[in-house]
Amino acid sequence: MRATSNIIAYLQAAPLMAVLATFLIAPIFMIVIVSFWGATEFSIYPAFQFDNYAFLFGSPVTYKVFFATFKYAFITWVFTLTIGFTVAYFLAFHVRTQTMQTALFLLCTIPFLTSNIIRMISWIPFLGRNGIANQALISWGIIDEPLEWLLYSDFSVILAFVHLYTLFMVVPIFNTMMRIDRSFIEAAYDNGASGLQTLWHVIIPLTKPGIMIGTIFVVTLVMGDFITVRFMSGSQKANVGRLISNDISLLQYPSAAATAVVLLVTVLLVIGILLRFVNIRKEL
């Protein structure tokens, strides 16, 4: 009887496994294979060689680019976590009616009805040398000349990342907070805990699964992004995504594949480290 139920379960899961194998596992497998191929200026050829990886790890540019990628990911994570936790906390504990919670949550999603590129490029006229921000600061007498670092800098790149990906932190944290039993919070107050103590010892530990899920979303999205760095830095900055994009534009597909494999392994290691802090499957 158990064997029959297992067979039925496998048959039910077969379509999903086929989709995953076709659209996830097979492409990754092909990228790994191509990463060992060789390339000339005008063509690529099948081979099994480690030249692409040797060049990748032997170049100091690689380490600078990976450092910049981690820097963008870490700073963006700090700001998205701060903003996302604050917004989720307000929606979950300070908005009393479910109707208002839904309305405010939908309000947060309105910018996502437009393209990422449009939302990102919308910062350019605001942050530019003759943009709204500089003109306002000059008119208020705060500065005498336009601030050059507002646009085409690390500041503009991180600002765009935070704008694009904060919602990916808000949603899982808000979802986790809504599942917290309010009797735990009442018990903390009954035992003399202050609001800050209740936040630190009750709410944050119970929200860890949502924080970890949001962290995984934000970190992986930032580390794989390349278009934001290109536009918001004026092509003056680089990350791993841009490195891959440049190799593809030069038809160096094996080199791009090798970089993609290293990036994938790096992201998986980061996710593995994050998952050691909380058992998401158990706590959800």
pLDDT at 181: 86
**Per-residue pLDDT, 41:** 76
Distances (CA, A) of 162 to 84, 106, 165: 10, 18, 5
Q: Determine which helix (DSSP H) or strand (DSSP E) holds 65, and give its type and residue range.
A: helix 60-93
pLDDT score of 147:
87
The residue type of 33 is I
- 189 CA to centre of own chain: 36
- Look at residue 97 in the predicted model and tell me its pLDDT: 81
CATH domain 37-102+154-282 topology: MetI-like fold (1.10.3720)
Residue ranges of the chain with per-residue pLDDT less than 70: 1-6, 8-9, 11, 280-284
Q: Which residue, among 75, 3, 4, 34, has the nearest Cα to 259 in the 3D structure?
A: 34
- Residues of the chain within CATH 1.10.3720.10 domain(s) are 37-102+154-282
Structure tokens at 251: 């038809």
pLDDT at 144: 84
Closest CA to 211 of 177, 178, 160, 163: 177
DSSP 46: -
Angstrom distance (rounded) from CA 218 to CA 138: 35
